[in-house]
């Protein structure tokens, strides 16, 4: 029994070691959706990946949301571009993703692309959100975080783990890259619908909409180590 515990503990330490690995390089890899078979090989390098021509589900498009009474009631003004005021809490974003079917779409369509080993289909999970407008600094703890613009173009400012200690605190007050220390290096990625960005763990990003009334989806792919780290980060 002790041997089994030791083996499991050893394997977990190896697993955690690979999760903690990062790169200090600002390199972006780009592929098209038809070449998604190469994704795992690219993700192994721990650098962000841009996927072009990626599908965006119809369930979160403005015409679909406006045609559904309960979504039209809470999102109608935003989608019609008459009032940008909208609840933008994490709970609200998760609610919209779950109720529109965005979460289900991602579970069936995207989930398996991110498996890291033969046990992933049994131990992994994903969490989806729909976010409206711009978003202040976010730190990634998921194995992979996917940014999927639905409406409008975005500038995603990426900062790697090397500069974590130099970032202003609290991080949710950082709404633009101009607010960070000038010694911090970053890279801007322009995102538009049908172009997604996959970010490894331990990076930081800021989302700025290039035009009003934009919104985007996020997909977090988790395995046990990232679930634990995500929990600890909120303590």
H or E stretch at 208: strand 204-209
H or E stretch at 32: strand 29-32
Determine the structural domain holding residue 41 and report its residue range.
2-233
How many domains does the chain contain in total?
A: 1
Tokens of 117: 């080993």
Coil vs helix vs strand at 158:
strand
Question: The CATH number of the domain where 182 resides is what?
Answer: 2.60.120.650
> pLDDT tens-digit profile of 120-142?
888 899 999 999 999 999 989 89
Cα–Cα distance measured from residue 75 to residue 61, given in angstroms and rounded to the nearest whole number: 12
> pLDDT tens-digit profile of 18-63?
555 566 677 889 999 999 888 888 888 888 999 999 999 999 999 9
Cα–Cα distance measured from residue 100 to residue 117, given in angstroms and rounded to the nearest whole number: 30
Please, are residues 198 and 51 in contact by the beta-carbon 8 Å criterion?
yes
């Amino acid at each position: 029994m002790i041997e089994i515990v030791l083996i499991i503990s050893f394997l977990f330490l190896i697993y955690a070691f690979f999760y903690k690995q990062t790169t200090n390089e600002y390199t972006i890899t780009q592929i098209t959706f038809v070449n998604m078979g190469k994704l795992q090989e690219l993700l192994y390098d721990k650098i962000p990946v841009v996927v072009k021509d990626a599908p965006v589900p119809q369930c979160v498009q403005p015409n679909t949301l406006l045609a559904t009474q309960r979504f039209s009631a809470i999102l109608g003004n935003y989608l019609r571009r008459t009032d940008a005021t909208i609840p933008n809490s994490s709970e609200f974003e998760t609610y919209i993703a779950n109720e529109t079917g965005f979460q289900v779409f991602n579970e069936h369509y995207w989930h398996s692309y991110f498996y890291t080993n033969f046990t992933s289909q049994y131990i992994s999970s994903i969490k989806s959100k729909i976010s409206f407008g711009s978003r202040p600094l976010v730190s990634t703890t998921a194995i992979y975080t996917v940014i999927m613009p639905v409406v409008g173009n975005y500038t995603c400012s990426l900062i790697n783990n090397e500069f974590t200690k130099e970032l202003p605190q609290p991080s949710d007050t950082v709404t633009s890259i101009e607010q960070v220390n000038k010694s911090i290096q970053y890279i801007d990625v322009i995102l538009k619908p049908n172009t997604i960005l996959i970010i490894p763990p331990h990076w930081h990003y800021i989302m700025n909409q290039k035009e009003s009334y934009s919104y985007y989806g996020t997909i977090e792919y988790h395995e046990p180590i990232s679930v634990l780290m995500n929990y600890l980060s909120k303590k």
